[in-house]
Chain A
């Protein structure tokens, strides 16, 4: 048994195959990778944001103002087309808003940065690379190649893919590929993880395991997370707070904290009550 696998987590050992993830504390990950612990997530502020796509007459996002505290997991919940993914792209710096701004730790976002990374619906791994090479890509781009040898094995252990390090990513299942994408996103030690419906293409069993694992990992690493989803249950499992969006134009209509019980078990009465409350709010406002 390695030092990593001795750390107890919510789900480790409970689920096999895709879902098995040995737990690794941030302290141990940092010690093994030789990198400083993150400890603090990013503070995000959306200030008077509006957005309109070129060639369209109306705004797709209108008057958005909210803050996300460091280390908080926030779910953006809404129906298809309400602008959730557009908002996430704006936060990531992949696009610039027409009006207003996005501020991370007080600095206006003008472009992409390895400190805030997006996990997309499709893992979009590079099929000519191995699992380890994919996971190391952000470090390579950042010129931190000396960290690869220590950090990548620790990350692969974190997501339960140590045995697959030298395999081509095409040999992996959908869930395993999404785990590689998670390792790749975490490699540069971001403060903010932006999740764009990253589990929607997975089967229910794998999705459930990943939802719990990503929340656990984010909490262990102290990351701030913004999750885009149209799945009420997913929001209740993963998030500390939900922002419900309505379309035409995209806007936030409800901002509510989530408290589905300490264990966040789907079968617990607290979870079911919180999920039902969120569902009712969603139906009433979205």
Chain B
């Protein structure tokens, strides 16, 4: 290697170290601000718990305050109850979201690429999208043999639209020059799909999945009010019926924490797949 090339290589390494330090500083700053936000939320929760405990008409709900809730949460964690109630819910969301991705991504690519299909499908898909997923509940119960299948269907119905439309929007934004260059280099349709289209829209797909996951997680709890005897929705219902408000509060907390964790994972995936320098 020449002296000039070595010097260039040293400069690149130095730039990379500086970039890593700046990234670490940014990450620590975000962490500190996030912790502060959670502390403020906790303070409001404590204030609400104190107010409920002081109100004669609401005294029965005093166990929803932070301390009894966290004690109950610790107890549930030690007995493995959290995993026991979360696993079936995560399983249902996983299946529902999986089917939504399987249908939504290919359909989104086709809608994004084919103008005639976009025109044909726009009205019916927008109409279906605006129907609340929970309004499909009676039909789902009739159509599927098991409660689990009905819940998975409801999650699928809730999730498929954001994934499909985000994918289609991503495909429409693909730089036509990339397709022209690929054709010029001899790409066949499969090359186009795997080397150009999917990498180009990966961040859009992940954004759609993140939106879909948020909706699916919200739909999950009421959907699990259906005949099943497992899952977070069932646990909420059960705690309410047995007047175990500390358990109800702890379950709500579990729902929030898992939802936040899943959303954070999606955000990480979006950053991972984002190729725009300004996004990272």
- A residues with a Cβ closer than 8 A to B are 1-2, 5, 20, 92, 94, 112-114, 117-118, 120, 122, 124, 126-129, 137-138, 140-142, 162-164, 167-168, 170, 184, 188
Q: Which residues of B contact A124 (CB under 8 A)?
A: 175, 177-178, 180-181
- B residues with a Cβ closer than 8 A to A are 1-2, 4-5, 8-9, 12, 175, 177-178, 180-188, 191, 195-196, 199-200, 202, 275-277
Contact in complex: A120, B181 (CB < 8 Å): yes
The one of A1, A138, A163 in contact with B185, judged by C-beta atoms closer than 8 angstroms, is: A138
What are 12 A-B contacts defined by CB distance under 8 Å?
A1-B2, A2-B2, A92-B184, A124-B177, A128-B275, A129-B199, A141-B182, A162-B5, A163-B5, A163-B9, A168-B275, A188-B185
Contact in complex: B276, A120 (CB < 8 Å): no
* Contact status of A138 and B186, CB under 8 A, knowing A124-B175, A124-B177, A163-B9: yes
A20, B276: Cα distance in complex, Å: 28
The one of A127, A141, A163 in contact with B276, judged by C-beta atoms closer than 8 angstroms, is: A127
Contact in complex: B186, A114 (CB < 8 Å): yes
Contact in complex: B277, A142 (CB < 8 Å): no
Where chain B touches its partner, the secondary structure class is: helix
Most buried by A among B181, B182, B202: B181
Please give the distance in Å from A39's CB to the nearest CB on chain B: 22
A164, B277: Cα distance in complex, Å: 17
CB-nearest residue of chain A relative to B192?
A141
A170, B181: Cα distance in complex, Å: 17
Contact in complex: A113, B180 (CB < 8 Å): no
Contact in complex: B180, A127 (CB < 8 Å): no
Contact in complex: B12, A141 (CB < 8 Å): no
Contact in complex: A163, B8 (CB < 8 Å): yes
Please give the distance in Å from B181's CB to the nearest CB on chain A: 5
Contact in complex: B276, A5 (CB < 8 Å): no
Extra 5 A-B pairs, beta carbons < 8 Å, given A120-B177, A122-B177, A126-B199: A1-B2, A2-B1, A94-B184, A117-B185, A128-B202
